[in-house]
Amino acid sequence: MKCQYNDCYFCGGVVEERLLPREIRWNGKLLVFENVPMGVCGQCGEKFLRPEVAKMIDAALESSKRPSRVLQVPVYQYQSVG
């Protein structure tokens, strides 16, 4: 069931719910939650998490549940051109 969101706090645009990945850094690790319901502003792209969704993510981070899959992520060092 999709949730209704208020207009965007930042620009006043219409916010609609989408299922998107959410990247989180936790204890020095990069974790990805897939299919997270969040509001996305159609005008500026700002994303909003409902409090109950954030609490469920926090609970998952604190549990010992195993991930559904593991990804390898290449890491690059930024070097300015100058």
Asked if 32 and 21 count as a contact pair (C-beta separation under 8 A), the reply is yes
Q: Where are the beta strands (DSSP E) in 42-76?
A: 47-48
User: pLDDT tens digits, residue range 52-74?
Assistant: 999 999 999 999 889 999 999 89
Pick from 81, 78, 4, 13: which is nearest to 45 by CA?
Answer: 13
Cα-Cα-Cα-Cα dihedral of 16, 17, 20, 26, to 10°?
A: 110
User: pLDDT tens digits, residue range 4-26?
Assistant: 999 999 999 999 999 999 999 99
**pTM for this model (two decimals):** 0.84
Residue spans of the domains in the chain: they are: 15-62
